[in-house]
């Protein structure tokens, strides 16, 4: 091996490795989310501004993480009250293909009329957003899609209330599963069997280690209910302390979810926080549940957004994480009341929220097949590919060659790329976001916001499939991106595209733009070269 080869290998080696990204949540972020974002009533009548602000904050934050946003707007109460579910997609290598195996995390962002809803369900939303931050900062492009969905209108109301909406629990999630999830799977050629499942988080931070703080109504029935006896016995042996998170799932059909969650939980520290399963040994809970002698227990367990998934299609794998809500400690008095407030944010409670969030993150990273090390996106990309770069290219649309301009708005260490594509003559401009895959030197971008309006005649999900994908190469004058533009709305129309950095727009800089790891390799080489000369 020549010295040159050794040097080349060294540079490659040092620039190849991405620094291991953190895979755990931050306690202070969780606290800040609860304090700053989820501590005032988020209700369409009594807290409309706060609710709107929460939705906007969720969208802005997820966009900033490089995710694709899909709003599902719908109307309730004789079409008078507007509602919206929000989905943020962290797309992987197999997204929008029949090889995808998506996994979803979910929570609801609305509250009851008179409750700040810090625990219910600010805690689920805080976990959802913190998990999104950690997962989207991983530099290795994962195989499968991870979706983060914030549901509107979980909470139901009495018709007597002024401007009431949603008279049955889970209006938002029922709407979403039927009109968003199922069409989304179908667009990618997926069936519920390809869907790895959804984790619904709802009230997950009320920890109480006081003996007897865990209430168990109808203990005689609970004790002998199949799937629930274990949690009853464990809790009894521990003096009915409210010190655990419950995974509610169906014994056989949701097994992959609750076993993985338990595995992740047990691998984390802080053993004072426990985890138990409450299982329902029925697949089609809506149809077959009522026939069971234990129906009152199973029905109680399924009072959450998970019901919307099971109801729509029993093949959708679903698990709920819950601190048992109004059955524990203070929440016996505060559930859905004004006192579900910042008093919930204690160090002990944050500890349980953090452990739950970390187990969920670990599960999502495993299910999406996110590797912990890979080539570093920034140092593997052509040196002049960075924020501010302008490229030009032609796109064939309806037989016409149209010139488009692409501006790179951001290129992050996680490989996230945000761009604006525009055509001045047509006066169109769209935000794109995607990832640079250092392993294959491929850049894939999608429309950032496929739709923001109430569903009309067209199927908005087709727009999630709009993408541009191609190889990114350094050229003498800058960068070239060659690949295909794919638009499902046009019958799967796929056309070749080529964008090149505009002349004089960028000068390929070597030294200054070398990433630190690459620089390290270069310096080592120089030293090695010196040594070899002696």
Ligand X SMILES: *[C@@H]1O[C@H](CO)[C@@H](O)[C@H](O)[C@H]1NC(C)=O
Residue 172 dihedral angles phi and psi, to the nearest 5°: -65, -50
Query: Closest separation between CB of residue 320 and ligand X, Å?
Result: 8
| Residues whose CB falls within 8 Å of the CB of residue 38, separated by 6 or more in sequence, listed in order | 54, 117, 118, 122, 123, 125, 126
Residue of the chain from 197, 329, 393, 483 that contacts ligand X (CB under 6 A): 329
Taking CB under 6 A as the binding criterion, the range among 300-308, 382-390, 397-405, 461-469 that sits at the site for ligand X is 300-308
**Six-digit token pair at 227?**
């799937």
Burial class (CB in 10 A: 0-12, 13-18, 19+), 237: exposed
To ligand X, the closest distance from the beta carbon of 254 in angstroms equals 17
Query: What are 429-433's contacts with CB under 8 Å, separation 24+?
Result: 431/63, 432/468, 433/63, 433/66, 433/67, 433/68
| Count of positions on this chain that bind ligand X (CB under 6 A) | 19
Length of the chain, in residues: 534
Of 72 and 305, which CB lies nearer to ligand X in the complex structure? 305
Q: Which residues contact 9 (CB under 8 A, 6 or more apart)?
A: none
Q: Which of 68, 304, 356, 370 binds ligand X (CB under 6 A)?
A: 304
Q: Which of 213, 277, 414, 442 binds ligand X (CB under 6 A)?
A: 213
Please choose, out of 27-35, 299-307, 354-362, 411-419, the segment that lies near ligand X by the rule CB under 6 A. Answer: 299-307
What span, in angstroms and rounded, lies between the C-alpha atoms of 63 and 132?
Answer: 11
Does 179 engage in binding with ligand X (CB under 6 A)? no
Residue 30 φ then ψ, to 5°: -60, -45
Instruction: Please tell me whether residue 325 binds ligand X under the rule CB under 6 A.
Output: yes
Measured CA to CA, the distance from residue 275 to residue 231 in angstroms comes to 9
**Residues 116-155: x where in contact with ligand X by CB under 6 A, - otherwise, as a string:** ---xxx--------------------------------x-
Q: Which stretch binds ligand X (CB under 6 A): 24-32, 133-141, 203-211, 262-270?
A: 203-211
| Residues facing 406 on adjacent strands | 391, 421
Which of 362, 303, 301 minimizes the C-alpha distance to 103?
A: 362
Show contacts with ligand X in window 335-354 (CB under 6 A): 335
**Would you count residue 110 as binding ligand X (CB under 6 A)?**
no
Do 265 and 354 meet the contact criterion of CB atoms below 8 Å apart?
Answer: no
Please say which residue, 356 or 384, places its beta carbon nearer to ligand X: 356
* Rounded CA separation 312/183 (Å): 12
For ligand X, which is the closer residue by CB, 44 or 101?
44
Least Cβ distance, residue 454 to ligand X (angstroms): 24
Q: Shortest Cβ distance from residue 180 to ligand X (Å)?
A: 17
Alpha helices in 105-246 (DSSP H): 124-135, 171-176, 182-187, 219-223, 229-237
Q: Where in 460-519 is the site for ligand X (CB under 6 A)?
A: none
Shortest distance in whole angstroms from residue 205 CB to ligand X = 9
CB 297, CB 221: distance < 8 Å: yes
CB closer to ligand X out of 309 and 499: 309
Please report how close the Cβ of residue 215 comes to ligand X at its closest, in angstroms.
8
DSSP state of 316: S
Which of 115, 225, 302, 322 forms a contact with ligand X (CB under 6 A)? 322
Q: How many CB atoms lie within 10 A of CB 36?
A: 9
Q: Which two tokens stand for residue 218?
A: 């109808």
> How many CB atoms neighbour CB 329 within 10 A?
22
CA separation for the pair 172, 170 (Å, rounded): 5
Kindly identify the residues of this chain, within the stretch 36-75, that bind ligand X according to CB under 6 A: none
Span from 12-20, 200-208, 244-252, 412-420 in contact with ligand X (CB under 6 A): 200-208
DSSP letter string over 39-75? SS---TTTSHHHHHHHHHHHHHHHHHTT-EEEEEEEE
**Which residue's Cβ lies closest to ligand X?**
203
The answer to whether 210 contacts ligand X (rule: CB under 6 A) is yes
| Smallest gap from residue 78 Cβ to ligand X (A) | 24
Q: Which stretch binds ligand X (CB under 6 A): 179-187, 269-277, 326-334, 366-374?
A: 326-334
Stretch that binds ligand X, among 81-89, 94-102, 323-331, 436-444 (CB under 6 A): 323-331
Considering the complex, what minimum distance in angstroms separates the CB of residue 170 from ligand X? 7
213 or 380: CB nearest ligand X: 213
d(CA 132, CA 520): 32
Per CB under 6 A, 302 contacts ligand X: no
**What b/e sequence results for 498-514 when a residue is b if at least 16 CB atoms lie within 10 Å of its CB, and e otherwise?**
ebbbeeebbebeeeeeb
* Candidates 202-210, 382-390, 505-513, 515-523; binding stretch for ligand X (CB under 6 A): 202-210
Q: Which stretch binds ligand X (CB under 6 A): 206-214, 417-425, 484-492, 494-502?
A: 206-214
Which of 72, 202, 358, 480 touches ligand X (CB under 6 A)? 202
Site for ligand X in 366-385 (CB under 6 A): none
Q: Which is nearer to ligand X, 125 or 468 (CB)?
A: 125
- Which of 84, 208, 444, 500 binds ligand X (CB under 6 A)? It is 208
Q: Mark 184-222 as b/e (b = at least 16 C-beta within 10 Å).
A: bbebbebebebbbbbbbbbbbbbbbeeeebbebeeeeeb
The neighbouring-strand residues paired with 459 are none
- Residue among 202 and 437 whose Cβ is closer to ligand X: 202
Question: Which SS3 state, helix, strand or coil, does residue 503 take?
Answer: coil
Residues that bind ligand X (CB under 6 A): 108, 119-121, 154, 202-203, 208, 210, 213, 303-305, 322, 325, 329-331, 335
């Amino acid at each position: 091996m020549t010295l040159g080869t050794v040097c080349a290998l060294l540079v490659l080696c040092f620039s190849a490795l991405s620094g291991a990204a953190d895979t755990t949540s931050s306690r202070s972020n969780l606290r800040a989310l609860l304090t700053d974002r989820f501590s005032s009533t988020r209700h369409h009548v009594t807290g409309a501004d706060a609710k709107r602000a929460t939705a906007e904050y969720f969208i802005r934050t997820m966009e900033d993480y490089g995710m694709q946003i899909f709003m599902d707007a719908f109307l309730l109460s004789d079409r008078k009250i507007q509602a919206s579910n929000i989905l943020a997609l962290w797309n992987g290598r197999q997204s929008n293909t029949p090889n995808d195996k998506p996994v979803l995390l979910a929570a609801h962002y609305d509250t009851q009329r008179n409750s700040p809803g810090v625990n219910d369900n600010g805690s689920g939303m805080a976990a959802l957003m913190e998990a999104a931050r950690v997962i989207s900062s991983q530099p290795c492009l994962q195989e499968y899609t991870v979706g983060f969905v914030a549901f509107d209108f979980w909470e139901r109301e009495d018709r007597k209330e002024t401007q009431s909406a949603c008279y049955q629990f889970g209006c938002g999630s029922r709407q979403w599963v039927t009109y968003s999830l199922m069409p989304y799977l179908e667009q990618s050629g997926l069936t519920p069997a390809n869907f790895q499942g959804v984790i619904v988080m709802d009230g997950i931070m009320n920890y109480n280690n006081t003996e007897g703080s865990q209430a168990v109504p109808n203990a005689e029935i609970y004790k002998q209910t199949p799937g629930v006896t274990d949690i009853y016995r464990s809790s009894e042996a521990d003096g009915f302390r409210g010190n655990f998170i419950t995974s509610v799932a169906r014994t056989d059909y949701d097994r992959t979810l609750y076993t993985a969650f338990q595995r992740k939980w047990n691998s984390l520290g802080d053993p004072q926080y426990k985890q138990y399963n409450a299982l329902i040994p029925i697949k089609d809970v809506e149809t077959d549940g009522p026939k069971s002698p234990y129906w009152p227990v199973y029905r109680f367990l399924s009072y959450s957004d998970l019901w919307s998934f099971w109801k729509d299609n029993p093949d959708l794998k679903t698990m709920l994480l819950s601190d048992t809500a109004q059955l524990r400690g203070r929440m016996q008095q505060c559930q859905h009341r004004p006192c579900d407030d910042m008093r919930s944010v204690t160090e002990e409670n944050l500890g349980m929220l953090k452990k739950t969030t970390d187990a969920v993150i670990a599960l999502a990273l495993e299910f999406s097949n996110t590797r912990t090390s890979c080539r570093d996106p920034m140092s593997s990309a052509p040196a002049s590919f960075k924020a501010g770069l302008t490229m030009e290219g032609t796109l064939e649309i309806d037989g016409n060659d149209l010139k488009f301009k692409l501006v790179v708005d951001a290129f992050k260490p996680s490989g996230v790329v945000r761009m604006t594509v525009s055509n001045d003559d047509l006066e169109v401009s769209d935000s794109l976001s995607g990832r640079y895959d250092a392993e294959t030197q491929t850049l894939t971008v999608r429309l950032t916001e496929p739709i923001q309006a109430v569903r009309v005649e067209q199927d908005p999900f087709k727009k999630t499939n709009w993408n541009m994908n191609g190889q990114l190469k350094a050229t003498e004058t800058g960068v070239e991106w060659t690949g295909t533009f794919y638009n499902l709305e046009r019958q799967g129309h796929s056309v070749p595209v080529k964008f090149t950095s505009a002349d004089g727009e960028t000068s390929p800089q070597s030294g200054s733009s070398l990433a630190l790891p690459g620089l390290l390799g270069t310096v080592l080489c120089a030293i090695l070269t010196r040594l070899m000369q002696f």
